[in-house]
A and B are shown apart, each in its own frame.
Chain A
């Protein structure tokens, strides 16, 4: 079983690869979209600006291969920017996304829920899962994971959300539909809890 990690020039992917390897998975960094056909699972990681991310995916020819991959029903995981890119649109750079999931990506307001909020949302925050997401199966309610982002996804279909997090109000921390998962937080930076999520992803069939 090989997990492919999409390299589209948005951040260092080695920590994702090494985290997967540390839980016993075989993980390969993919630079050519044609390689997607040869892997059993695919991960879209990424940090940085949404518009840059889409521009890089487009230029490197990843957009259609990613859509096809998700359609095929093989396991797919988006992380951080990789979650946001799955949606239709982002306020960051007013750019269109992959439109695999309905909804948009919006910026945290410095005034939210009647309080002054620090943006970016940076640090360890506690998850409340709302459904029995198989990737989160090892997590207790309230397990802390690492977030670092200034924008968050507002899914058009609330049933997509599998866990929420509170930062001046609740927002989407992860989504799950069939064999498609995505997390706003960084499992590869979330120590033991994060590794348990990656192990579950490695184990899903």
Chain B
């Protein structure tokens, strides 16, 4: 039986893991390879390395990190952060990343999704989607500002399952009768930059282009530790037939149980609950197993 993957996410800056990883027996808490090894031994199912380096000059350091992890850790891992072109993708894959995770570049030029899938297969093509709830009126403003063509199906899905017709662009009164119409709008830059894209339609679109997995980070839940965003995870995991990784908001293993039981999400990503030693991977998997969810016990 296919098990649910538990995926720790590591932020890497200048070749060092930041946000401190607090593990016993770790010689160097900032060394990506040491940390990957520790997580490997702890039974993590996969790792995500997110390059949060701002400058382009330091990209080569990340390639070196990827090379070392690939050569010393015999477990699956994904690399994301700052991927702008197919050349960036190629260099990461050649360095040993088996999957690359693309965020902003897929919004700006969706062609990179198709190029990556064509060249390295859908299995290697992961798209990060960062949705955030915005009032419909604001979404319409963002959409106008984005200069995107109107959607073929004549509108957008609202968070409550209702429909926001494109007619609302010229006639805002058509949505006024709803108490508080909300749209899940895709954002970039950690939730700061709206895109004018509705998240469910966007997810479908990137899958059509060849995405083989979606990492969904709710900008409303991220950092709260109040649990994953069940609502948007359910909408997107129902809308596509590729694996969906729930991300953002995890504060306890029970939150993982909730999102895996209540949605079609396949895997869960978390950072702080593991890094600070609050919960071990083994404890977490025990909670999931007791809830009747299939996990890999090592």
A194 touching B74 in the complex, CB below 8 Å, given contacts A120-B212, A121-B2, A150-B122: yes
Say if the beta carbon of A12 comes within 8 Å of chain B. Answer: yes
Tell me if B120 is interfacial: C-beta within 8 Å of chain A. Answer: yes
Contact with B along A162-205 (1 / 0, CB 8 A): 00001100000000000000000010111110110000000000
Task: Given the known inter-chain contacts A12-B95, A118-B243, please indicate yes or no for A47 contacting B75, CB distance below 8 A.
Answer: no
Which of B3, B71, B99, B264 interacts with A15 by CB under 8 Å? B71
Indicate if the CB atoms of A22 and B96 lie closer than 8 Å. Answer: no
Chain A interface secondary structure, helix, strand, loop or mixed? mixed
Chain A: residues with Cβ within 8 Å of the partner, total of 37
Contacts of B120 in A (CB 8 A): 11, 47-48
Q: Is A1 close to B, CB under 8 A? A: no
**Does A94 have its Cβ within 8 Å of any Cβ on chain B?**
no
Q: Which residues of B contact A144 (CB under 8 A)?
A: 3, 296
Inter-subunit contact B267/A12 (CB<8 Å): no
Which stretch from A62-70, A123-131, A152-160 is at the chain B interface? A123-131
CB neighbours of B98 from chain A (8 A):
11-12, 47, 148, 189
A194 to B241 Cα, complex, angstroms: 28
Evaluate contact between B76 and A125: CB separation under 8 angstroms. Answer: no
Given contacts A120-B212, A148-B98, 18 further A-B contacts (CB under 8 A): A11-B98, A12-B95, A14-B67, A15-B70, A15-B74, A22-B74, A48-B119, A48-B120, A118-B266, A120-B243, A123-B4, A123-B266, A124-B5, A125-B2, A148-B123, A189-B76, A190-B75, A191-B74
A-B CB contact pairs (8 Å), 30 listed: A11-B93, A12-B70, A12-B94, A12-B98, A14-B71, A15-B96, A22-B74, A47-B98, A47-B121, A110-B241, A116-B264, A118-B243, A118-B244, A118-B264, A119-B241, A120-B242, A122-B212, A122-B213, A123-B2, A123-B3, A123-B45, A123-B46, A123-B266, A123-B267, A124-B2, A124-B5, A144-B296, A150-B123, A167-B2, A189-B75
| Chain A residues within CB distance 8 Å of chain B | 11-12, 14-15, 18-19, 22, 47-49, 110, 116-126, 144, 146, 148-150, 166-167, 186, 188-192, 194-195
Q: When A and B form their complex, which 9 residue pairs have the shortest distance between CB atoms, in order from nearest?
A: A144-B296, A18-B71, A124-B296, A110-B241, A125-B2, A12-B96, A148-B123, A124-B3, A48-B121
